[in-house]
Every structure is written in structure tokens, then in C-alpha cells.
Structure 1
Amino acid sequence: MDTHRKDLYPDVAASGGLGPAMREAAKLRGCDIGLEPWTVDVVSIQTARGFLLVEPAPDERLFRLSVGIPGFEWEIGSTGDLGLLVEAVAAWREGIPLDELAERFGFLELDEFTRALDSGEPTSSQWSDLLSSEFHRRQWNLLRRLRADEVLRNMYPTITHGAVRLQVDPLDGTSRQVLVHEGDGERYEVMRVGVPEAAWTEVPTGDLIDYLRAVL
């Protein structure tokens, strides 16, 4: 940790890293934050409501708290008070309702996605977000076609390098998933992610939905 950051985070520097500092703060407050004993600088805590990630800001004393699923993170607040942070992490892990969390911890900003994640169903919210994003306009036709299917609409969608990724379980990065790229004309390219020797497979437009159903 450089001198500037040591000045901002003397407690973290004295403890030997963010992980040890959080464990010490939690112990003082009788909190269970579920942080593995070997965690030093990169703090990621598995919970029933996604991963919690903590990162110190570089230019001011702020501990940024984010919630994530494999491959994606959403910042939900920041505070300079390490004790308050660990109390919020412990409360999140305990499953305290979001409205109560927001009332107890004023630094938290719990948006629509966070609430969808809390309910265990972020998928419908994600479809709506992608289909209302001008940034992803090029994928709208493919997204609409996929969501129209009664099976595929239950898959979690994201955009990766211009391709639509469909994932069975948004909270499990190892669950079945595919990438779908819309090519020129009446064809698509599909890749099954995480299988041995994964490669792009050309799929005619008329076979796309059946093919995706079969691999997912």
C-alpha cells in the first residue's frame, strides 16, 4: 500500500490488508461477515443474495460496497466508516429485509436490480433493462426473439462483445450458458460456454430456438 493510501486507510495498513482489517472490525462488533481467514486485499463474500465485494477508493477514504453475480457488479453504496461497513455486510448476510437495511444503513442505495436479486429473480429485470438500453439497440431484435420463447425467457441474458449470453443460473458462473451472435442474413453463430473445445457453430435462423433449448 503506497504512502497516500496508508494515510487514507491507516487501520487497513496496520492490520496488513483490507481482509484482516474487516475481520478485526467485525470481531470488535460481534459481527459475522463470512470472510475467509486467508482473504487479504481482494474482499469477496458469498451470500444468498449474490457476492458482496468491498474496494477502497483510491483518492478519498471510502469503502465501496457492491453486490454481484458472476461477471457483473453493481455498487450499492460507500462509507468511510469500516465498522459501519462490516455491520451492513453482516446484516446483508443475515437476510435482513432490504427496506430495513436501507433504514439502518443510510449509505446503502438499493435499486431495482438489487431488489430483484433479493427476491431470487433478477432475470425479468435484466431482460427489461437490456431491451430499454440504446447502447444495446443492435441486439434488440435477437433479444426480443429469445425472450418470446417460453423457455429461453427464463435464462439470464447479458451482452458480451456484441453477442447475447444466456445463462441458466445468474448466481452460478458455472451453470450452463451459451453465446449467440447474429450474423449477416439468415444465420446465427452459437457457442456453448465452458464445454471442452468450445467453438462457434453456425445455426440456421429457423433452427435457432430449438437448438438453444436443446443445449440449455
Structure 2
Amino acid sequence: MDTHRKDLYPDVTASGGLGPAMKQAAKLRGCDTGLPPWESDRIVIETTRGFVSVAPAAEERLFRVRVHIVGFAVEAPGFAWDIGSTGDLGLLVEALAAWREGVPLNELKARFEFMELDEFARAVETGEPTSLQWSGLLSSDFHRGQWNLLRRLRADEVLRNMFPSITHGAVRLNADPLDSTSRQVLVDELDGERYEVIRAGVPGADWVEVSTGELIAYLRAAFNKQ
């Protein structure tokens, strides 16, 4: 941390990094941000409403908070929202704890004036992240090999509402892009007539071979299972 940053963040420097400083502030306020014990300066917290990152500004004392879609790197463009910034470390950890606890967005905004949730809330309500992701995958030459499967899945009125991503060549459909624990399936195309499908994250689940004629009905049923 350079001299300028030390002047702006003496409490962070004294604690040995942003992670330790946040943990200390949270302990003093009796709240839990869910910050992993190994975090030092690169702050990323997994919540049921996406990954939340915190980064200190260089030009002034501000802790900038962003929320990121599940399944993407924190640096991924187009799937992250700035949801506020504050120079008050105590307010920061209280807001993060409330976010992690699932406090409604309108209540969060009322309790923490620094939070700017309008754009994020609008994107979630309109399904914008999901529609943008479908379009992005279907226009990416890198994922050309999955285009036929992606088009077929998006054509279904139910499956097009699932958030798609590509994992080791297989298409992953997630029921909620902001919740890593929501129902999700992986679909791997074998030869255009046969597919392998697995309910990701389900204990004991295994790959099941499904014919092309059964694929859509099988996937719909997989998402209906608890």
C-alpha cells in the first residue's frame, strides 16, 4: 500500500489489509459479512444475491461495492453493478451483513443511504442479465460449437428463462443467476442426436444419456425437482 493510500486508509493499514480491517469492524458491530478467513486485500464475498466485491478508491477514501453475477469472474464486463460507496468502514460491514442476510432491497436502501440499488433491482426484475447472456453466447465465435444446442434450449419458453453459461464445453442452465445454490443442470452434446445431462450440485447425481427427442422434456422435469 503506497503512501497516499496510507493517508487515506490508516485503519486498513494498521490492521494489515482490507480483509482484516473489515473483520475487526464487523466483530465490533456484532455482524457477519461472510468474509473468508484468508481474504486480505482482494475482497469477494459469495451471497445468495451474487458475488459482492469491495475495492478501496485511490483518489479519495471510498470503499466501492459491486455485485456480480454468479458464474462469472469478478472482472467480467456487463454483468456487474456498482451498488454504492462509503468511506465509513463500519457502515460498509453492516450493509454487507444485511445484504448477505437477504434484507429486501428497498429496506437496504432506506437503512444505508450510500447504497444505489435502482439499476441493479431493475436488471434483476426485468431478467436483463439472462437475456444478455443468451445473446452474448450466441454471438461468440468461441462458443460456436454450442450454438445449435443453445438455440434449441433458448427456443423453449421455460428454458430461455434459465441463465446459461459454458462449463468445459457443456451448457449450464441456472435457475437463478444470483444464487449459486439454485437448481441447475449441465447439458453436453454428444453427437447431435444424444446428450448427457446432470443435475449439478445434487449429491449422488450422475450423467444421464438423453435422446434429442426427450431432451427438452427431461430438462424441464429436472428443474421441477426439489
Q: State the SS of the aligned residue for 2:150.
A: helix
Give the Cα–Cα distance (whole angstroms) in 1 for the partners of residues 215 and 166 of structure 2. Answer: 18
1:128 aligns with 2:135: yes
Give the Cα–Cα distance (whole angstroms) in 2 for the partners of residues 38 and 135 of structure 1. Answer: 34
5 Å-filtered alignment, 1:37-116, equals: 41=40, 42-44=43-45, 46=47, 50-55=50-55, 65-72=65-72, 73=74, 74=79, 95=105, 116=123
- Contact between 1:35 and 1:45, CA under 8 Å: does it hold in 2? no
Counterpart position of 2:172: 165
- Contact between 2:170 and 2:187, CA under 8 Å: does it hold in 1? yes
Give the Cα–Cα distance (whole angstroms) in 2 for the partners of residues 37 and 209 of structure 1. Answer: 39
Give the Cα–Cα distance (whole angstroms) in 1 for the partners of residues 206 and 47 of structure 2. Answer: 31
Give the Cα–Cα distance (whole angstroms) in 2 for the partners of residues 201 and 45 of structure 1. Answer: 30
- Contact between 1:183 and 1:189, CA under 8 Å: does it hold in 2? yes
Give the Cα–Cα distance (whole angstroms) in 1 for the partners of residues 203 and 23 of structure 2. Answer: 39
Give the Cα–Cα distance (whole angstroms) in 1 for the partners of residues 216 and 36 of structure 2. Answer: 45
Counterpart position of 2:33: 35
Q: Could you tell me which amino acid in structure 2 is paired with residue 35 of structure 1?
A: T
Q: Could you tell me which amino acid in structure 1 is paired with residue 179 of structure 2?
A: D
- Contact between 1:52 and 1:67, CA under 8 Å: does it hold in 2? yes
Counterpart position of 2:182: 175
Give the Cα–Cα distance (whole angstroms) in 1 for the partners of residues 150 and 208 of structure 2. Answer: 19
Report runs of 4+ in structure 1 exceeding 6 Å deviation.
Answer: 23-26, 61-64
Query: Offset at 1:114?
Result: 8.7
Q: Which has the higher contact order (CA 8 A, sep 6+)?
A: 2
Query: Offset at 1:115?
Result: 5.6
Counterpart position of 1:192: 199
The size of the alignment, in residue pairs, is: 201
Q: Could you tell me which amino acid in structure 2 is paired with residue 15 of structure 1?
A: S
Q: State the SS of the aligned residue for 1:199.
A: coil
Counterpart position of 1:21: 21
Give the Cα–Cα distance (whole angstroms) in 1 for the partners of residues 67 and 214 of structure 2. Answer: 37
Question: What RMSD in Å do the two structures reach over aligned CA positions?
Answer: 4.6
- Of 187, 190, 208, the residue aligned with 1:201 is 208
Give the Cα–Cα distance (whole angstroms) in 2 for the partners of residues 138 and 208 of structure 1. Answer: 18
Measured at CA, do residues 151 and 24 of structure 1 come closer, stay the same or move farther in structure 2, by a change above 3 Å?
same
Identity %: 59
Query: Offset at 1:24?
Result: 8.0
Q: State the SS of the aligned residue for 1:206.
A: coil
Query: Deviations along 1:49-92, whole A, 9 cap, x unmatched?
Result: 633212579xxx99775422333235557xxx9559x77x959x
TM-score (norm 1): 0.65
TM-score (norm 2): 0.63
Q: Could you tell me which amino acid in structure 2 is paired with residue 51 of structure 1?
A: F
